[in-house]
Structure 1
């Protein structure tokens, strides 16, 4: 059930999760479904119902779709999800009249299984909330964690409304600027890219046929991602547009006609006339990697553990990998009668996730630096590289499996298996 306040009477929790985004809710559902005896609750600082106003969409990789199906929420999400049937990558300038496709990917990891779907964030969040209610997970909205103290037996969490909760394990899934991470004394490696990501939804005349495109432009990548047509049959795509921060701020706060003109230069006319359907927003882009994922009685998951550049569309899927690994470690420890908040148990999760996270962070950082420039020799080398990859089927298949989240060491949930 979702509640606002009323936390003072709760004690003796096994797991308390801070943050009711996709990572926090998926963690709660994963734990409770696999181990119903665990007492799991979620506390969220955002105002009640704020999630409903999130108009963004995200790419959900095939492995994450398998996980959501195993958690009993994909059947609700699927009717509103748009399969990505293929992807095209180009390297060009804004003024180029023709953008040759240097790299193309077919969109299936198995017959009938696309490597990714586009899903609206509020659809994903709503489905996870309803599943949480079915499992009896309490969600306390509009309440921030003020502080917490750990000891040998558990963690005592002090909420902003004066209530105190006691749990064996506290999971921080409160976003890239995690307050709980700072409270735990976990330091980060972080730097800004000087770019901001502009996000909006665009209507267009002709259907996209499930094609995603990413144009590497000198100021940053510009991606068009296919969305399900709305109830009126309007063709739609989501835009993720990296631009220099100063220019991005001017674009989203300035004249609508100027914004649409600049958008059209990048989007092109291949899908006919375009129209912006919502208010464009911009978020600063940077790299944030936690130096540790765990502390006694404490674990990070999702964006609280890592924030990466959206150039590969893997931020949300990294979070699902965190959740699947953490749930598997905690559930197996509980079945063996071990203390789920003990540091030696949590370090199994950290060892499982840190290398993959650092690898993805470094990869997206290098890709952004390599492609977000207009240096002629660099352009020539990267275009040759893209062309070579396009002619090597086995290497392309490797990249597709990486993007789909089905590479080695995948947790059970991401393989579509129960814990």
Structure 2
């Protein structure tokens, strides 16, 4: 078939489904699979080609999955294939100090042995998650995956939401899901405003190889310019999320790989022996951006489209998967009752479930970053004493561990490892 005929087919394509997801990242794929497993037909629109999503090389990007997120992946039949590539997080050590001067004597130490459920979470590389999601969707007949397509318009009609693709085709569904990032076109076209601000910080992200084993220990070192997270990967490797003031980060970003490592080493320390860069380096500005509403007429937002937070607690993907779990459960219950899954009453339940958690997480990460990313001697003394006190009270340590593991609050079924 020639290209002109392909173009004609695309321009006349009309596709209908129960739910339509814009955005083919991890949250969008997780929602597609979970929704398909409860019997809904799904159309997933991804601006990137499948070939790009499936790139096998290690590029340094990784995620900290809370225990509850691991349970969700198990509930949608993905974890068995991912477990071999996942590094359990067995301990978390939180310290305060200056680069080159070592940590403060006050610290927090969380050990997974203090809870019964097992590891607090797992580190896993982006490439392994992407491939697992794509393989699962390929084998599900009620998922239509439109890769390399972008949405240029959307409108709401009686009983349906409809989008127009850049190729000229149209897709419609009972409910439209925006999973298209912090600058969500779905949210913008629906007139959903956002609240937020910039932190004056930039995250420098990479991975390093090191001489000594990491023993599954995650480290969070708070410095005046911003926190440095050292997160264990499989083998003698760690993922680095290094937040710095924007001006300093801009200078560091221009350095050669060798000079970048020379800047990192005094901050990293020598507790894992010599380190060297593994994979690529990335940087992105840090901000807080929360959608003023998680829903509109026949529209719901998930992931960064709904809430973009500081990476200080590594909760970005976990918050998105909590959206996925809550939304799928709401849709499953509505479907069992015979309700219109895109009706305001149904989508209001999703917003009611997620709104408080989103606001609480945003406030907590914002406050934590402001408390620690400074060199104020009064605040430094207060936070160090506070960390010391928390570390001495087992009940408080366990509460922090359970919160980090995603085991608190009204937990959706998928995050408990149960069917939606």
TM-score (norm: length of structure 2): 0.94
Q: Does 1:279 align with 2:280?
A: yes
202, 211, 230: which one pairs with 1:196? 202
Aligned twin of 1:51? 53
Alpha-carbon deviations, 1:193-230, whole Å to 9, x = none?
A: 0101110010000100101100000000001000001x
Tell me if 1:71 matches 2:73: no
> Which deviations, in whole Å up to 9, do the C-alpha atoms of 1:325-363 show, x marking residues without a partner?
000111111111111111111010000001100100010
Superimposed CA distance per residue, residues 246-280 of structure 1 (whole angstroms, 9 cap, x where no aligned partner): 21122122233321111101110111111011232
1:168 aligns with 2:174: yes
Aligned to 2:377: 376
Correspondences of 1:87-166 after superposition (within 5 Å):
87-100=92-105, 102-108=107-113, 110-111=115-116, 113-136=118-141, 137-166=143-172
- The partner residue of 1:13 within 14, 17, 30 is 17
Provide the residue aligned with 1:239 in structure 2.
Answer: 240
1:213 paired with 2:214, answer no
Question: 2:267 maps to which residue?
Answer: 266
Distance 2:181 2:337 in 1: 31
Q: Secondary structure, in 3 states, of the residue corresponding to 1:338?
A: coil
2: distance between equivalents of 1:122 and 1:140? 20
**Is the Cα–Cα contact under 8 Å of residues 60 and 278 in structure 2 kept in the other structure?**
no
Aligned residues of 1:223 and 1:240 also touching (Cα < 8 A): yes
Aligned to 1:323: 324
The CA deviation at 1:50 is 2.6
Confirm or deny: 8 A CA contact 1:108 1:115 kept in the other structure. no
Aligned partners of 2:217 and 2:232 also within 8 Å? yes
State the distance in 1 between where 2:398 and 2:117 align: 16
Aligned to 2:279, what secondary structure does the other structure show? coil
Q: Which residue of 2 aligns with 1:31?
A: 35
C-alpha distance 101-258 of structure 1, shift in aligned 2 (>3 A): farther
Unaligned 5+ segments in structure 2 are 1-5
Count of aligned pairs: 409
Q: Following TM superposition, by how much is the alpha carbon of 1:282 offset from its aligned partner in structure 2, in angstroms?
A: 0.7
Contact 1:193/1:286 (8 A) holds in 2: yes
**Which stretch of the first structure deviates more once superposed, 94-103 or 149-158?**
94-103
1:226 maps to which of 232, 238, 246: 232
- Equivalence for 2:3: none
Query: CA contact under 8 A between 1:88 and 1:101: conserved in structure 2?
Result: no
Shift of 1:101: 5.5
Gaps of 5+ in 1: 230-234
Post-superposition offset of 1:286: 0.4
Q: Paired residue for 2:189?
A: 183
* Runs of 4+ more than 3 Å apart: 4-10, 52-55, 97-101, 108-112
Q: Deviations over 1:164-199 (max 9, x none)?
A: 112111101011111111111000002100101110
Instruction: Check conservation: 2:93, 2:218, Cα contact below 8 A.
Output: yes
Indicate conservation of the 8 Å contact 1:109/1:115, yes or no: no
What's the secondary structure of 1:87's corresponding residue? Answer: strand
User: 2:95 touches 2:103 (CA, 8 Å); kept in 1?
Assistant: no
Residue matched to 2:339: 338
Which residue of the partner structure matches residue 232 of structure 1?
none
Is the CA contact (8 Å cut-off) linking 2:67 and 2:122 kept in structure 1? yes
Counterpart CA distance in 2 for 1:300 and 1:387 is: 39
Matched with 1:40 is 42
* Secondary structure in 2 matching 1:95: coil
Root-mean-square deviation (Å): 1.6
SS at match of 2:130: helix
Do structure 1's residue 363 and structure 2's residue 369 form an aligned pair? no
- The question of whether the paired residues in 1 share the 8 Å contact of 2:60 and 2:281 is answered with no
1:405 partner SS: coil
**How does the TM-score come out when normalised to structure 1?**
0.95
